[in-house]
Amino acid sequence: MIAMSRAWTPRLDGLKAALSSPKVGAAAAAGLFVACAAAVVALLGPPSGKPVRVKLTAVFAHAPDDWRKALGPGSMTWLSEDVLQLSADASAAAAASVRAAPSAAPAAGALPQAPIAGFYAPGPGGPLPIIARDGRTPYQAYARPFTPNGRPRVAMIIGGLGLNARATQAAILTLPPEVTLAFVPYAEGLQGWIDMARANGHEVLLETPMEPLDYPDNDPGPYTLMADAPGPETAKKLEWILSRASGYFALTNYLGSRFLTDGEAYGSFMGAVRGRGLGFIDDGSASRQSGGGAPRASAERVIDDQLTQAAIEDQLLRLEASALQHGQALGAGFAYPVTLDKVAHWAQSVERRGYQLAPASALATTK
């Protein structure tokens, strides 16, 4: 079984915590399980039309009886690719329903539908972001507009989106448009989800799989950027990732504890990011790295490393304290049900406490 352990990955420790939480019912826990399992399926490689089987016995060892029943009859220990396809079908239906109902967009207004003319060019696998002839960048075109009001700024990124329809739709529709959303490149129906997010005012990040220190025990999938890979291989993988959809203003890391600390690998990656007119916002793993001329920001805390309501509330308070001290603060979390609930409630009241809720792009700097 693939080990998964980082800020925006459905981690097994988080899954165990969710299962034991009285706030997460059997049906919700079952849904979370399907999201995790679908992520594992997706990470095993590009769709091939053949069944993909992932052993999940270790997860079931910690599952209570009512959770097993919520998933269906019997003791399921294998998951087929059909689960991923169900998620893809649901994502397409959800995106279509939002496009058909403009009233679903919040009062803040929709962002322009992607791709925007002049900011993309055809690529082997799909449209690729490019800098416009007048020098404007996809970062500028796709980031959410922001006007500071002088108050300390707090921003939040919710990642891991696109694999589970229910969690993705909940993030898009229940979180305020200032919250930045990050999508998994392996997700089917990815463009539909990004269209839906932008229709509801959210700016979008695209997650980029990167080599962790414990690779291959922790494997981010077939398009992982490897620290020691030759340049052409890295370029080909990155091109595939970028061509998955359009409408994102920047990339963010998916794992990457080894890749992001390798100076040569990081430099080559940032050169490609800058050349495409994009930015890079990480979960804190690259906080010591410069932007190399591209817009950069690092999250200073992951709010749901400990998946309990009390721990998340404490991290949000610490984020506010940091913003008060430094003028701004960026947090990150994964689309767990408890995270979405806590962030939604926090975002409703944070401005009454003297802060300004901002998109992540408003905290990035170019240096």
Q: What angle do CA 289, 119, 241 make, to 5 degrees?
A: 55
Mean pLDDT of 237-245: 97
> What are 37-62's pLDDT values in tens digits?
444 444 434 434 333 333 333 333 33
φ, ψ dihedrals at 3, nearest 5°: -80, 140
Give, in order, the Cα–Cα distances in Å from 16 to each of 12, 53, 67, 230, 287: 6, 22, 12, 38, 29
Mean pLDDT of 247-271: 96
Of these ranges, 19-28, 80-89, 352-361, the one predicted with the greatest mean pLDDT is: 352-361
**What pLDDT shows up at residue 106?**
42
- Write the burial class of residue 102 (CB in 10 Å: 0-12 exposed, 13-18 middle, 19+ buried): exposed
CB count, 10 Å around CB of 249? 28
Single out the residue of 35, 43, 15 nearest to residue 210, CA to CA.
Answer: 43
Identify whether the C-beta of residue 294 lies closer than 8 Å to the C-beta of residue 316. no
In this prediction, residue 65 has a pLDDT band, given cuts at 50, 70 and 90, of very low
pTM above 0.85, yes or no: no
In this prediction, residue 128 has a pLDDT band, given cuts at 50, 70 and 90, of very high
Question: Of all residues in the chain, what percent carry a pLDDT higher than 90?
Answer: 68
Mean pLDDT of 228-256: 96
**What pLDDT shows up at residue 8?**
44
In this prediction, residue 362 has a pLDDT band, given cuts at 50, 70 and 90, of very high
Quote the CA–CA distance of 142 and 119 in Å, as a whole number: 10
> What are 312-346's pLDDT values in tens digits?
999 999 999 999 999 999 999 999 999 999 999 99
Question: Of all residues in the chain, what percent carry a pLDDT higher than 70?
Answer: 71
Residue 358 has pLDDT above 50, yes or no: yes
**What pLDDT shows up at residue 58?**
31
Question: Which amino acid is it at 2?
Answer: I
Helix (H) or strand (E) holding 279: strand 279-282
**What pLDDT shows up at residue 16?**
42
Identify whether the C-beta of residue 236 lies closer than 8 Å to the C-beta of residue 270. no
Residue 98 has pLDDT above 90, yes or no: no
Quote the CA–CA distance of 316 and 213 in Å, as a whole number: 28
In this prediction, residue 305 has a pLDDT band, given cuts at 50, 70 and 90, of very high
In this prediction, residue 282 has a pLDDT band, given cuts at 50, 70 and 90, of very high
In this prediction, residue 292 has a pLDDT band, given cuts at 50, 70 and 90, of confident
- Per DSSP, the three-state class of 334 is strand
**What pLDDT shows up at residue 34?**
42
**What pLDDT shows up at residue 124?**
83
How many Cα atoms are found within 13 Å in the side-chain-facing hemisphere of 208?
A: 33
In this prediction, residue 88 has a pLDDT band, given cuts at 50, 70 and 90, of very low
Single out the residue of 341, 346, 339, 283 nearest to residue 312, CA to CA.
Answer: 339
